[in-house]
């Protein structure tokens, strides 16, 4: 552990650890999100599942993540084996991806998604904790922006390869790509030097702050007693309930009347466009975040209902792909600020990862219910009605953020 104890000091981890954190974020980009909309295309075009069954399958990973997320955050706060557990989680996702295509039965696919969900619950709090433990709170804004920049670059790389594999080889190749990136992410995490991580600081407090609290902190008491955290969690639930199903729905819409390879190529184009936008947006958000969180996050929330509405105004595949620019703006902003806002609200509590896990549970809840809801809605109505319904929910999320979540950057020390 480096000889830097106060939270106000600037930490200086080794260049090896910082470069390893960069590559870990790059390869984890595809790993921590699982198969995402590619699973919907595979189930629709290769296995010929019904829309409602696809929606359920898409929700299983999210539900498993919801169940595991808060315990995962609490474990991150308590353990010094953050690297080891991160590697195990990556390898579990690789295993789940492989069994999904080797034994493509209903229970195996559902079980594989559940495994992915439990494993994916680890990554958000673990990466944030390792980052905070490496650089400290003073450098967290820019470093989180850098993390997300590499993460989105990794998504562009993975989506490009997935599109090529799906078009020229087989959609099954996308699953093997996920397994390969899982292994590479494991190697990157292992290269982060243990001595560079301050595990006490990674919890969001110094030893002095923990002693002052006399060990009486409680994750659930903190959540239930802090209105700002509760309303931020509610805004996150609504935002992701509106957001999560939009891309899978778009993928299914683009897949109508074309082969599986072309469907994968279009889906990759959607992801690549969004991720290319997220790269500069994440970087700029990290630089601008110290000047105020809320106004930036309002922009991220505001583009979501616009995006849902625009999906109903055209059937041109090129224009539908172009609309994904808005997804890049919203997700790029949210990915950075969600971590920083939780850091602001939990400063000095020692519960940074526990509360982050609880917030991630809210996010996962919104996302998992979104896919099941949208799948059932689509089967009974139409794509236009489904997109407009999700856009209306996005407006509600924007209202909760605007009226009930305060600016938090003033709480930084």
- Per-residue CA distances from 300 to 306, 307, 325, 338, 395 (Å): 11, 11, 12, 11, 12
pTM score of the predicted model: 0.75
Give pLDDT tens digits along the chain (413 positions).
344 444 444 568 888 999 999 999 999 876 766 666 678 778 877 777 877 788 788 778 878 888 888 898 889 888 899 999 999 999 999 998 899 888 888 889 889 889 988 998 898 889 989 998 998 888 888 899 899 899 888 888 887 887 788 777 777 888 888 889 999 999 999 999 999 998 888 887 665 555 555 544 444 566 567 788 889 989 999 999 999 889 888 887 877 656 556 666 777 788 788 888 988 999 999 899 888 899 999 999 999 999 999 999 988 888 888 999 999 999 899 989 988 898 888 777 677 888 888 887 777 777 778 878 888 888 888 888 999 999 999 999 999 999 998 888 754 44
CA distance 288 to 41: 37
Angle of helix 227-243 relative to helix 294-311, nearest 10 degrees? 20
What is the DSSP code (8-state) at residue 216? -
Residue spans per domain, the chain: 15-203, 220-404
Q: What is the CATH code for 220-404?
A: 1.20.1250.20
Would you state the pLDDT for residue 352? 82
What is the DSSP code (8-state) at residue 137? G
- Per-residue CA distances from 285 to 145, 148, 197, 280, 400 (Å): 7, 10, 25, 8, 21
Would you state the pLDDT for residue 220? 53
CA distance 121 to 69: 5
CATH entry 1.20.1250.20 includes domain 15-203: yes
First to last CA, the chain: 23
Q: At 274, phi and psi to the nearest 5?
A: -65, -45
CA distance 250 to 266: 10
Contact (CB, 8 A) for 335 and 282: yes
Determine what percent of the chain is predicted with pLDDT higher than 70. Answer: 87
CA distance 413 to 409: 9
Would you state the pLDDT for residue 255? 72
CA distance 232 to 406: 9
Quick one: tokens of 246?
A: 């939009």
CA distance 86 to 133: 15
Would you state the pLDDT for residue 337? 93
- Per-residue CA distances from 321 to 54, 121, 265 (Å): 22, 29, 11
CA distance 237 to 360: 9
| 267-292: pLDDT as tens digits | 778 878 888 898 899 999 989 988 88
CA distance 126 to 384: 38
CA distance 169 to 324: 25
Sequence-separated (6 or more) residues with CB below 8 Å from residue 349: 204, 205, 209, 213, 217, 222, 355
Three-class HEC string of 83-111 = HHHHHHHHHHHHHHHHHHHHCCCHHHHHH
Would you state the pLDDT for residue 184? 92
Contact (CB, 8 A) for 265 and 393: no
Would you state the pLDDT for residue 83? 93
Quick one: tokens of 166?
A: 């799906």
Would you state the pLDDT for residue 2? 40
What is the DSSP code (8-state) at residue 351? -
Q: How many helices (H) and strands (E) does the chain have?
A: 17, 0
Would you state the pLDDT for residue 411? 46
């Amino acid at each position: 552990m480096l000889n830097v104890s106060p939270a106000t000091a600037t930490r200086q981890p080794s260049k090896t650890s910082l470069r390893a954190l960069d590559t870990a974020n790059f390869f984890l980009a595809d790993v921590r999100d699982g198969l995402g909309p590619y699973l919907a295309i595979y189930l629709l075009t290769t296995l010929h599942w019904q829309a409602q069954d696809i929606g359920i399958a898409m929700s299983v990973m999210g539900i498993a993540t919801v169940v595991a997320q808060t315990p995962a955050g609490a474990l991150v706060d308590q353990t010094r084996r953050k690297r080891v557990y991160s590697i195990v989680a990556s390898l579990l996702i690789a295993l789940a991806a492989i069994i999904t295509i080797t034994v493509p039965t209903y229970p195996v696919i559902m079980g594989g998604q559940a495994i992915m969900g439990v494993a994916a619950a680890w990554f958000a709090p673990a990466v944030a904790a390792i980052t905070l433990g490496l650089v400290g709170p003073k450098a967290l804004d820019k470093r989180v922006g850098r993390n997300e920049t590499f993460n989105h670059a990794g998504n562009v790389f993975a989506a490009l390869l997935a599109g090529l594999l799906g078009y020229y080889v087989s959609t099954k190749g996308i699953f093997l790509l996920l397994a390969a990136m899982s292994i590479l992410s494991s190697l990157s995490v292992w290269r982060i030097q243990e001595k560079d991580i301050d595990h006490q600081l990674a919890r969001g407090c110094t030893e002095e702050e923990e002693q002052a609290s006399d060990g009486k902190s409680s994750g659930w008491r903190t959540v239930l007693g802090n209105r700002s955290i509760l309303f931020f969690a509610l805004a996150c639930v609504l935002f992701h309930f509106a957001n999560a199903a939009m891309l899978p729905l778009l993928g299914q819409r683009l897949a109508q009347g074309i082969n599986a390879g072309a469907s994968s190529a279009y889906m990759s184009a959607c992801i690549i466009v969004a991720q290319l936008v997220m790269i500069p947006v994440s970087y700029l958000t990290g630089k601008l975040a110290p000047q105020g969180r809320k106004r930036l996050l309002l922009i991220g929330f505001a583009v979501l209902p616009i995006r849902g509405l625009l999906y109903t105004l055209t059937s041109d595949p090129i224009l539908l792909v172009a609309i994904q620019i808005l997804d890049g703006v919203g997700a790029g902003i949210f990915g950075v600020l969600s971590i920083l806002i939780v850091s602001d609200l939990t400063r000095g509590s020692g519960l940074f990862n526990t509360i982050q896990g609880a917030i991630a549970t809210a996010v996962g809840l919104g996302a998992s219910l979104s896919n099941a809801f949208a799948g059932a809605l689509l089967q009974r109505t139409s794509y236009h009605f489904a997109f407009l319904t999700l856009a209306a929910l996005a407006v509600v999320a924007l209202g909760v953020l605007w009226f009930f979540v305060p600016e938090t950057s003033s709480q930084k020390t």
